[in-house]
Structure 1
């Protein structure tokens, strides 16, 4: 319980404490999930989730992937519940790291979609206040049990994915059902495609106004880079270097010429 309290407390204070400068704290791993079996590369069937994504995710004219929550059939809601139930029965600590990574990303995204569907219609995921006192959003609510452990979205992102993989591209893979978030991809992650998809999603986001915009000689970035600066190198310069790695020629030139970030922004509107 203490570990979960620390995670929730940290997330509650992030937007206020980090705006003063470009640094944040390292996430702490939940040790039991560090176990893995390199020899067990048996794939997990994410076919149901892949089918739902292909059916309900559509990209708008601005490059934003939107999920048609209001059109999801009762049968597909049931299929999503069955899929999540199947994931909960897997002994994921007995799988190889690439299999685990795809598992946790898909689990996070599928649970997020389920939370929205269970509370739809809603204007923003932050309106789903199910995490307890002082909460804005469902991230602290325990939603699924895996290997006897009750897990919340915060656990998956901040106690498993971020600290164990230490890969900033995690932020482009997990989706918070918001316009300001990197795209919810219309394809399930697998052990084989995760690395390629994370690179694609990083490029898509950084080359969109939601990730990085330049106006009147000033750079505005997503608040993701403020909230989780540690994951991107823990300095403004490191964030700019990360952005330049995936930026197109125009944005890369602007980053080099301007050399500093003036503002950060985020749109919590539902990605429907």
Structure 2
């Protein structure tokens, strides 16, 4: 009976999953455009250089090979970011700060719980993943991953390409980029990430009059409306969906992006 109840709760959590809305946390919506400070993301870049590998459509993380020292270095990097008040930075520097913070926290969560088959197994018994858990405190404000993505990045920048920047440690997610984001490379990385994802089978797979798109385009369809909708956005990076009027299904692979 207990096993059946547990299985039902897990199934409920999965089927009831819905993406959070974009809702601004106004506290973070300020900047100092005159500030030319560059936040160092060298520690994060060193981690990516050492443990990220490319296989087909995916970038994978060698979680099993991360040394105790490098795990500690990652935590130290997160502590360094947490000691910064991002509101004092200019907006371009802020964007890189939040994206790298989100991705590094996600990897750190997996490392703390490895081995695990999927990030959705983390969090409380009634949770679908760790996104609602408190993960870091900045300027006295405790944040979750949902806060960073849906209350800061999405509503402040209103750029649907943010969905290609943040990584949820899953095969179905747009790839963790091999380069740390900086104020100088953000635009190039966003364009590269968008094009790579859309032109992979996990982004948009066309078979005759049927298309299977990533569930991202279902969950966050409203984010693409300003660009004419999901199909128009995809067609900007690949002509395969230009004028597509067939049947569309959505799919997402929650398996861990491990090597």
TM-score normalised according to structure 2 size = 0.90
SS of the residue 2:205 aligns to = strand
Give the one of 38, 47, 56 matched to 2:33.
38
Give the one of 238, 249, 252 matched to 1:266.
252
Distance 1:41 1:80 in 2: 25
What are the residue-to-residue correspondences of 1:1-272 with 2, within 5 Å?
27-60=22-55, 62-130=56-124, 134-233=126-225, 238-247=229-238, 252=239, 254-272=240-258
CA contact under 8 A between 1:99 and 1:190: conserved in structure 2? yes
What's the CA shift for 1:186?
1.1
SS of the residue 1:242 aligns to = helix
TM-score normalised according to structure 1 size = 0.86
Count of aligned pairs? 247
5+ residue gaps in structure 2?
1-11
CA contact under 8 A between 1:179 and 1:270: conserved in structure 2? yes
* Cα deviation digits, residues 43-102 of structure 1 (max 9, x gap): 000000001001111000x22100110100001001001000000000110110000000
SS of the residue 1:233 aligns to = helix
Distance 1:51 1:101 in 2: 20
CA contact under 8 A between 2:74 and 2:104: conserved in structure 1? yes
What's the CA shift for 1:129?
2.2
Distance 1:99 1:187 in 2: 15
CA contact under 8 A between 1:26 and 1:230: conserved in structure 2? no
Distance 2:250 2:60 in 1: 22
5+ residue gaps in structure 1?
1-11, 19-23
